[in-house]
């Protein structure tokens, strides 16, 4: 059995490890010790995963109380959050209890928020099962749910106690979901590591059995851990953790206006990365050749570079104005000074933003 990597998200007393292996055996003892520790432990997952990984649950989770939510972005809602709270209450969780979130970004975000707010905070552990969750949403402690008015508008910073990544589990992930996760991988290369983006462009796509995949996941986690260490709660006046939102101001607006679930989050981020590149070019940072390169790479990773169906420009801009990253009424964008270096920018002319949205197929 080969241990692939281990790193620490350094946050003082709230530091925690991210550990990864191809196979789940590495974590069997750690999870079983937690389950048998005498603490009250429960699991939350989704219905797709419980079907695809029945053996995993049987071997590792056994008879631990498990709550299954519907798969999909629609579960990041007040209604679903309420059912998780009720499950915690029925299982008589106390402040020494722990929750294990097994699933993708929806499960991690929802369960993390439930853990942050139930009894004013209980421990939780992340076992991400999608590429997107492994490289992004399971790390950093951002938890939350969507509201009709916007994505992730209700939430809390609540760091996990540990993150366990089992890359072999990706083999059961549908191709569309795996491709969606690639958008976050590309994001890290674009915002902080030109060498990583060059490598990704040369690979021309990723597969679940690629030997380089664990190394790429490690690098993405490393970048995010470094950013979170410096700006955990996104309070830096410029740059900082906000840089991790590259492409996301556009993506969240698309998800909101199209309806949650119409686009997978990573698909919307793929479009958002293209939008951010085009905006960067219009602002005089990227060349047209660099924008074309980014678009080619996004396409190579089976991600959309434009809207499937037209959405109203006005509605998209309105959604952006409700984004949680808005500061004193100004929309803050993350743009690329160059490939591998991102900056935050306020005061962008809305006419430029509307022009970019029109280039994506909005009307």
Which one of the listed residues 120, 202, 211, 309 is annotated catalytic?
Answer: 120
Helices 213-230 and 175-192, axial angle in degrees (round to 10): 50
Query: Nearest to residue 23, comparing CAs of 48, 3, 43, 49?
Result: 3
Please indicate whether residue 332 is annotated as part of the active site. Answer: no
Annotate 117-143 with DSSP letters as a single string. HGGG--EEEEEE-SHHIIIIITSS-EE
Please indicate whether residue 158 is annotated as part of the active site. Answer: no
Which one of the listed residues 187, 241, 278, 325 is annotated catalytic?
Answer: 241
Please indicate whether residue 245 is annotated as part of the active site. Answer: yes
Which one of the listed residues 73, 232, 234, 267 is annotated catalytic?
Answer: 234
- β 341-345/333-338 pair status: antiparallel
Please indicate whether residue 90 is annotated as part of the active site. Answer: no
Q: Which residues of 118-136 are buried (b: 16+ CB within 10 A; e: fewer)?
A: beeebbbbbbbbbbbbbbb
Q: In this structure, what are the phi and psi dihedrals at residue 314, rounded to the nearest 5 degrees?
A: -60, -45
Which one of the listed residues 152, 245, 255, 256 is annotated catalytic?
Answer: 245
Which one of the listed residues 187, 252, 282, 332 is annotated catalytic?
Answer: 252
Query: Nearest to residue 305, comparing CAs of 332, 273, 266, 350?
Result: 273
Collapse the DSSP code of 153 into the 3-class scheme (helix H, G, I; strand E, B; otherwise coil) and give the result: strand
Q: How far is CA 111 from CA 101, 182, 350, in A?
A: 6, 23, 36
Residue 97 to residue 115: CA distance in whole angstroms: 10
Which one of the listed residues 248, 278, 282, 332 is annotated catalytic?
Answer: 248
Collapse the DSSP code of 294 into the 3-class scheme (helix H, G, I; strand E, B; otherwise coil) and give the result: helix
Please indicate whether residue 255 is annotated as part of the active site. Answer: no
Which one of the listed residues 184, 232, 255, 267 is annotated catalytic?
Answer: 184
State the sign of the Cα–Cα–Cα–Cα dihedral 299, 106, 131, 54.
negative
Cβ neighbors of 215 (< 8 A, separation 6 or more) are 4
Please indicate whether residue 325 is annotated as part of the active site. Answer: no
Residues forming the active site: 120, 142, 184, 224, 234, 241, 245, 248, 252, 265
């Amino acid at each position: 059995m080969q241990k692939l990597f281990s790193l620490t998200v350094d946050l003082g007393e709230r530091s925690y490890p991210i550990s990864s292996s191809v196979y789940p055996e590495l974590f069997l003892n750690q999870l079983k010790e937690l389950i048998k520790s005498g603490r009250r432990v429960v699991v939350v997952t989704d219905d797709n995963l419980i079907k695809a990984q029945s053996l995993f649950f049987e071997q590792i989770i056994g008879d631990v109380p498990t709550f299954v939510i519907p798969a999909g972005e629609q579960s990041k809602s007040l209604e679903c959050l309420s059912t998780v709270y009720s499950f915690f209450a029925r299982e008589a969780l106390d402040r020494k209890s722990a929750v294990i979130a097994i699933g993708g970004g929806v499960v991690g975000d929802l369960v993390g928020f439930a853990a942050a707010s139930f009894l004013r905070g209980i421990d939780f552990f992340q076992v991400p099962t999608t590429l997107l969750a492994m490289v992004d949403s399971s790390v950093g402690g951002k938890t939350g749910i969507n509201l009709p008015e916007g994505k992730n508008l209700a939430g809390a910073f609540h760091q996990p106690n540990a993150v366990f990544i089992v890359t072999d589990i990706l083999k059961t992930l549908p191709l569309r979901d795996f491709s969606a996760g690639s958008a976050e991988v590309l994001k890290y290369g674009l915002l902080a590591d030109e060498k990583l983006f060059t490598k990704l462009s040369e690979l021309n796509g990723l597969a679940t059995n690629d030997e380089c995949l664990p190394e790429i996941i490690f690098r993405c986690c490393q970048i995010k851990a470094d950013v979170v260490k410096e700006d955990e709660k996104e309070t830096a006046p410029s740059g900082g953790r906000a840089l991790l939102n590259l492409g996301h101001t556009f993506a969240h607006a698309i998800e909101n206006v199209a309806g949650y679930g119409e686009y997978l989050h990573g698909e919307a981020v793929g479009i958002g990365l293209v939008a951010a590149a085009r905006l960067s070019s219009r602002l005089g940072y990227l060349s047209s050749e660099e924008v074309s390169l980014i678009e080619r790479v996004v396409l190579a990773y089976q991600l959309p570079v434009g809207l499937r169906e037209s959405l109203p420009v006005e509605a998209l801009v309105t959604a952006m104005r409700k984004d949680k990253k808005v500061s004193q009424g100004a929309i803050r964008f993350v743009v690329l000074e160059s490939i591998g270096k991102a900056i935050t920018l306020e005061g962008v002319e809305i006419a430029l933003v509307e022009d970019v949205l029109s280039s994506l197929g909005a009307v």
